[in-house]
A and B are shown apart, each in its own frame.
Chain A
Amino acid sequence: MPWVDACGTDDIDAEDLIRFDHGGRTYAIYRSSDDDYFCTDGKCTHEDVHLEDGLVMAYEIECPKHNATFDYRTGEALRAPACVNLNTYKVKVEAGRVLIEI
């Protein structure tokens, strides 16, 4: 799968996320408080709601609509109403850019 240049490392605040749309699909890219980057599908597995307005605390993303919570490093669903994990994608940082393998 190709590596896609998604954003600059400074486009995401620490302990936050941004939305990234590519090839008709939507993703969420996270920056942890220790400046590691991660990528998951953009929408919550419980309902068709984008995670971009959700809250990142430590390694968890909380969906803005129903408070489902996922570990964004592994995609694991941690709290109801979600019970299906998020897909995750490989991420690498090169020359100040965040690349994702999708």
Chain B
Amino acid sequence: MAGIVIVGAGECGTRAAFAARDAGYDGAILLIAGEAGLPYDRTKLTKPIVPGEAPFGGLSALRKPICHANQLDAAGITLLAGTPVGKVNSDARQVTLTDGRVFGYDRLLLAVGATARRLACRGGDRALGFRTIDHAQTVFAKARGKVVIAGAGLIGLELAAVLSGQGAEVTLVEAEALPLSRTVPAGLAERLMARHQAEGVRLLCGSEIEKVTPGFVTLSNGKRLPAPSLIAAIGVVPNTTLGAMAGAMIDNGICVDAQMRTSVPGIYAAGDCANVTLPNGQRVRSETWRCAMAQGIVAGQVMAGQTASYDDPNWLWSDQYDLTVQVVGQVADRPDALRQLPEAELQFSIDSDGALIGVAGIGRAAAMTKDIILAQRLIRAGAKVTARALSDPAIDLKSLLRTQGDV
């Protein structure tokens, strides 16, 4: 049995399987998951079930399936869950599971994701990671009282909001001067930081953990903090081992083109593990849910023989307390236009040709979603816009889309 083999059953791999079938592929589709059980939505891991009121009714991790067994059956997708793939042989077109089982493939998708980075300092392996449902269950069972989180990225901040909401005393330790400096414009990051501080979260920026001892961390400035619970949320490393074994080009991820093709015939990669070169030469390695889904769909369609290309503007969404942050496309610290809505603010970036290339928003989700969706469409259309029109809340962004013609 050859057909399509997909390694990794997160958002990306699962979407790819369904997309290949939807695109008319009639061969076998095998979806291999290293973790047991049905594919689940990782974005829900920072949104646990809260059974009672604070303090600590006991949080429990939410495992939300991406699809159910009957949907897999109906689509003729075989899920093999609980055993990771250990080897890829691209000459023989075979993958070998760690338990020795061998499967042949015509087309292979590596949707193998990324691994949470470990704290590299002395004692750093005492820190809890946060990437899988098992991690989430451990963190929500153990993290209470004084909690130190290394890293004020999206995961660190979302966990800080959830845990402090349950009465934990949270300290975030961030190496950069501001949280989210890689992904969110500085003005928005400052407002998020202020909100966390108002909720009682302590944020130590420009600071690193140098040593972990039982119950304590020592910072780079020599200061020692009690840390009965320590969580490492310092980003992820793309999983490239199988790609390298297959002979694919590796550079900060498995290198692919906009059709998700690696340098090895018949092998594709998509999602967190993939470093995509777009037709304009720009390279994208994204770790967002949206990107995993969109690239997975492209990979599935291409493997099924359809023409498809990844050209989706990147998009991230984070909920912290009752604040939502969204970023689409490319944004700069200094926005070109500001749009003040009753309960949200949007910041737009325009390129030198006058085309909208990015938007970042902060505020109440409901207040900004329509404009964010419209901005996504304007960005995808390469729409020419003026700062004046974007800044005027009386001007409906829909009218800007209409003037672009057929999009």
> What residues on A are CB-neighbors of B317 within 8 Å?
65
Task: Determine whether the beta carbon of A64 is less than 8 Å from that of B373.
Answer: yes
A81 at the interface (CB under 8 A from B): yes
B225 at the interface (CB under 8 A from A): no
> Distance (Å) between the CB of B179 and the closest chain A CB?
23
Closest to B374 in A: A55
CA distance A45 to B18 in the complex (A): 17
> What residues on A are CB-neighbors of B366 within 8 Å?
52-53, 64
A83 at the interface (CB under 8 A from B): yes
> What residues on A are CB-neighbors of B373 within 8 Å?
54-55, 62, 64, 67
> Distance (Å) between the CB of B288 and the closest chain A CB?
12
Closest to B294 in A: A80
> Distance (Å) between the CB of A99 and the closest chain B CB?
27
CA distance A61 to B398 in the complex (A): 14
Residue of A54, A80, A81, A83 touching B370 (CB-CB under 8 A): A54
Interface size class of B (residues with CB under 8 A): 10 to 19
B119 at the interface (CB under 8 A from A): no
CB 8 Å contact bits of A65-94 with B (1 = contact, 0 = none): 101000000000000110100000000000
CA distance A55 to B373 in the complex (A): 7
> What residues on A are CB-neighbors of B398 within 8 Å?
15, 57
> What residues on A are CB-neighbors of B365 within 8 Å?
53, 64
> What residues on B are CB-neighbors of A64 within 8 Å?
365-366, 369-370, 373
B362 at the interface (CB under 8 A from A): no
27 cross-chain CB contacts under 8 A: A15-B398, A52-B366, A53-B365, A53-B369, A53-B370, A54-B369, A54-B370, A54-B373, A55-B370, A55-B373, A55-B374, A62-B373, A64-B365, A64-B366, A64-B369, A65-B369, A67-B290, A67-B373, A80-B15, A80-B18, A80-B19, A80-B293, A80-B297, A81-B15, A81-B293, A83-B18, A83-B71
- CB within 8 Å of B: which residues of A? 15, 52-55, 57, 62, 64-65, 67, 80-81, 83
Beyond A62-B373, A80-B293, 15 additional contacts (C-beta under 8 Å) are: A52-B366, A53-B369, A53-B370, A54-B369, A54-B370, A55-B369, A55-B370, A57-B398, A64-B365, A64-B373, A65-B317, A65-B369, A67-B290, A80-B18, A80-B19
